[in-house]
Chains A and B, each alone.
Chain A
C-alpha cells in the first residue's frame, strides 16, 4: 500500500517522505515498517517521526477554508501535506550480497522520489526470517499480522537486557524470552527469580495465575527454592531447597552489599581484614559469634573503628536472620544446580518470601560466582583436552542496576561476565527498570536490548547509548504503549523492531508455546496436563 515519495534525507538522520494526497497523517504510526523502492535497491526502514508541512508558509498562518469539503480535498496532499521520517536500515534484494546472505545493513539512501510503501508480510519475513528451529516468535510488528522472530542462538551469544518501567510487561516478556531460550537457543538458563514469577507459576497484573516454566516444560526445568514455608504454602513443586552456609560466604559477597548496608570504605577494609584473620571459611561465623571482649580485641588489633565494627556486625546479623543461611549447609546447592545445568535442565531459584534486596544480591552473586568459577575451569580443561565444552549458560538477574551500577560493577561477578562476553560460555539476561543506573560499559556490552516503555529521559538515553539512529529511535521508544509493546534491537536482530508482544497466559498461548510449538514436530506425553 503506497504511502508517498522520498523527498529529502540522509543516512544518518533518515529520509523524509512526502505522503501522497489522500493518505492521512492520522493513519500513520511511529514504529511501523516501510519498504522503499529505490532505483536499484529495495530499502527497509522504520517510521520514526510524523510531521505536517505546507508548501507555502503563509498557508499555516492563514489556513485555507477546509470547512468547505471541496477545498479540504484539494488542499490535502498539495498545499499542505503530511511528512514522515523514515530511518532506512536494511537493503533487501537487487543486490548480489542480499541474494546470497539476506538483507544487508543500509549503506546509502534511496534515490529522490522513490516510492514508499507500507512493508508487506513478505518483507518482514524476508528480514527477520521465518519461525524455525532457532527463531522464536516474539510478537508482531505494529499493525501487521506477520510474526517477528528472534534468532535465539544468536541472542544467547551475548548478554542481553530487558528494560521498561514497572507495569509495562517486562515480566511477561522475560517469560517469553526464557521459553524461547529454553526451546531454541541451545543454552541453559539459571534464573534468580526474586518475585517467584518464572519457576512454577506467576501472576498477571490483574491477579490471574499464569503458568511458569516448570508447568510448561516439566522435564526441562528444575525449581529450587530458598523458602521452604513458602513452597509448602503455595504448593509449588520444588526440586530442591537451597541452604547456604556461612562458610560459603566470602568477603566479596558482603562487600557487594555495601550500598544496601551503607558500608564505608573502612567497613570494606575491615571485612577483608577479618577474612584474612579468620580465614575465608570462618570469618563470617567468627565475626558474628565473637564475644564482647574478643570483639574489642579484634577491633584494636585491626584498628577497626567502633562504629564501623558495630555497623558491620549489625549488617551481618541482618543476614543471619535469613533461615536459608546457616553455619554449614547440608548439601552443596551449587553442586546440585550444576548437576542440572550440565544436563541441559534449566534452573529457577525462587526466593519465596525472601524478596529482600540484600538477600537477592547476596544469594545471586554468591551462587553465580561459584558456578561461574566451575564453568571457567571446565572450559579451560575442555580447551586443553579438546573435550566438549560445557553447555552455554544464561544467567537471568533482576534489579540489575543493583549489581551493575558503576560503583559495584567491577566487583560483582556479573560485571565480570558482561565484560568477558562469552569467553567462558556464560552470558546474562539482565532485567531492570532503571537502566540509567547500570554502568555504561556494561550497557555497551549488552548484545540485544528489549525495551518496554521508559519515561525517564536518562533511562531512555542509557538504553540507546551507542546505537545507530539513536535520536530517531528515541521518539519511537517514548511513544510505545504502556503495555504489551516493546522495541527490540541489537545483535540478534537484523534491524530494530517495535512489536506487539505475543500473548502469554491464555490457553491458546500455552498451546502455542508448549513443547508442541515452534518447530512443528509433534511431541507426546502428558499434553493434557498442560492445558489449563
Chain B
C-alpha cells in the first residue's frame, strides 16, 4: 500500500463528500481506498467512491487518436497538448475525522477546505481507523455514483490487508454488515461474495 502520498487537491467540497483533482493523469487512488485531507480544525478521512478522467473543459469531448499508435504513451507523445487538456479527479465520501490522536467516526462539523491537499492514507492510519467499523452505516445508506456495494467491498478488501489478521477482520466486518443489512439478504450476499481476496483458501 501507498505510504501517504500527496495526490490531489480538493476542488469541490460539501459536508458529506469532496471532489479532488489529481496532479497526475490517471493518478486517482484505488476505489475504496482511504484518503486524508484537511478540514477547518481537523483531519478529514474519506473513502474513494468514484474516479474519472475527462477533458478539463466540460464542453470538449475526447477523440480517439491511437489508430496508428502502439500504445497510449505514444498517443500522448504525439499529441502533447492532451496531457494539459485532460484531468483526473475522484470523489471521496467523508467517513470520519481526527483531532490530535483521536479519530471520530462521524461527520466533521465543517467540510473539507477548498484547495486542501489530499493524501493517500498509510497502512497504520487505515488500521487505526478501522478498529471500529461504525461508519459502515454511512456507506450503506448513501447514494453513490458508483454502486455502493462495490465501494464497500473494495474498501473492506483494501482495509483487510492492513490488518494483522485479514480474514478475522473480514469476518467481523461481514457480521457488522449482516446486522446493517438484516432485511436485505440479497445485498449482503452480493457484498460478501466481493470480499473474496485472492489469497483466501
Direct contact of A and B (CB under 8 A): yes
Chain A contact residues, CB within 8 Å of chain B:
21, 55-56, 58-59, 62, 64-65, 68, 70-71, 73-75, 77-79
- Contact for B178 among A65, A70, A78, CB less than 8 A: A78
| Complex alpha-carbon distance, A75 and B183, angstroms | 13
B35 interface residue (CB < 8 Å to A)? no
Smallest beta-carbon distance A61→chain B, Å: 9
Smallest beta-carbon distance B174→chain A, Å: 3
B192 interface residue (CB < 8 Å to A)? yes
- Contact for B174 among A59, A62, A65, A73, CB less than 8 A: A73
Total CB contacts across the A-B interface at under 8 A: 53
- Contact for A58 among B174, B175, B179, B185, CB less than 8 A: B185
B133 interface residue (CB < 8 Å to A)? no
Complex contact A74–B175 (CB within 8 A): yes
Q: Which residues of A contact B55 (CB under 8 A)?
A: none
Q: Which residues of B contact A71 (CB under 8 A)?
A: 174, 189, 192-193
What secondary structure prevails in chain A residues at the interface with B? loop
Residue of A whose beta carbon sits closest to that of B171: A73
| Complex alpha-carbon distance, A228 and B161, angstroms | 87
Which residues B148-183 have CB closer than 8 A to chain A?
167, 170-171, 174-175, 177-179, 182-183
Complex contact B185–A62 (CB within 8 A): yes
Complex contact A77–B175 (CB within 8 A): yes
Smallest beta-carbon distance B166→chain A, Å: 11
| Complex alpha-carbon distance, A65 and B186, angstroms | 11
Interface size on B, residues (CB 8 A): 20
Smallest beta-carbon distance B145→chain A, Å: 27
Quick one: CB contact mask for B74-91 with A, threshold 8 Å, 1 for yes? 000000000000000000
Q: Which residues of B contact A79 (CB under 8 A)?
A: 178, 182, 185, 188
Question: Which 5 residue pairs spanning A and B have beta carbons closest together?
Answer: A74-B174, A78-B178, A55-B182, A59-B185, A79-B178
| 5 A-B pairs (CB sep. < 8 Å) | A55-B183, A62-B186, A73-B174, A75-B178, A79-B185
Complex contact B178–A74 (CB within 8 A): yes
Smallest beta-carbon distance A342→chain B, Å: 71
B2 interface residue (CB < 8 Å to A)? no
Smallest beta-carbon distance A82→chain B, Å: 15
| Complex alpha-carbon distance, A55 and B178, angstroms | 9
Q: Which residues of B contact A74 (CB under 8 A)?
A: 171, 174-175, 177-178, 192
- Contact for B175 among A59, A64, A78, CB less than 8 A: A78
B200 interface residue (CB < 8 Å to A)? yes
Residue of B whose beta carbon sits closest to that of A60: B185
Smallest beta-carbon distance B55→chain A, Å: 42
| Complex alpha-carbon distance, A65 and B185, angstroms | 11
| Complex alpha-carbon distance, A268 and B195, angstroms | 85
| Complex alpha-carbon distance, A68 and B193, angstroms | 9
Q: Which residues of A contact B72 (CB under 8 A)?
A: none
Chain B CB count within 10 A is highest, among A21, A55, A56, A74, for A74
B57 interface residue (CB < 8 Å to A)? no
B141 interface residue (CB < 8 Å to A)? no
Q: Which residues of B contact A64 (CB under 8 A)?
A: 185, 188-189, 192
Complex contact A70–B200 (CB within 8 A): yes
| Complex alpha-carbon distance, A62 and B189, angstroms | 10
Residue of A whose beta carbon sits closest to that of B170: A70
Q: Which residues of B contact A73 (CB under 8 A)?
A: 171, 174
Q: Which residues of B contact A21 (CB under 8 A)?
A: 175
Given A70-B200, A74-B178: A56 touches B183 (CB 8 Å cut-off): yes
B184 interface residue (CB < 8 Å to A)? yes
Complex contact B171–A70 (CB within 8 A): yes
Residue of A whose beta carbon sits closest to that of B167: A70
B40 interface residue (CB < 8 Å to A)? no
Given A75-B178, A77-B175, A78-B178: A70 touches B185 (CB 8 Å cut-off): no
Residue of A whose beta carbon sits closest to that of B180: A78
Complex contact B182–A70 (CB within 8 A): no
B196 interface residue (CB < 8 Å to A)? yes
Q: Which residues of B contact A58 (CB under 8 A)?
A: 185-186
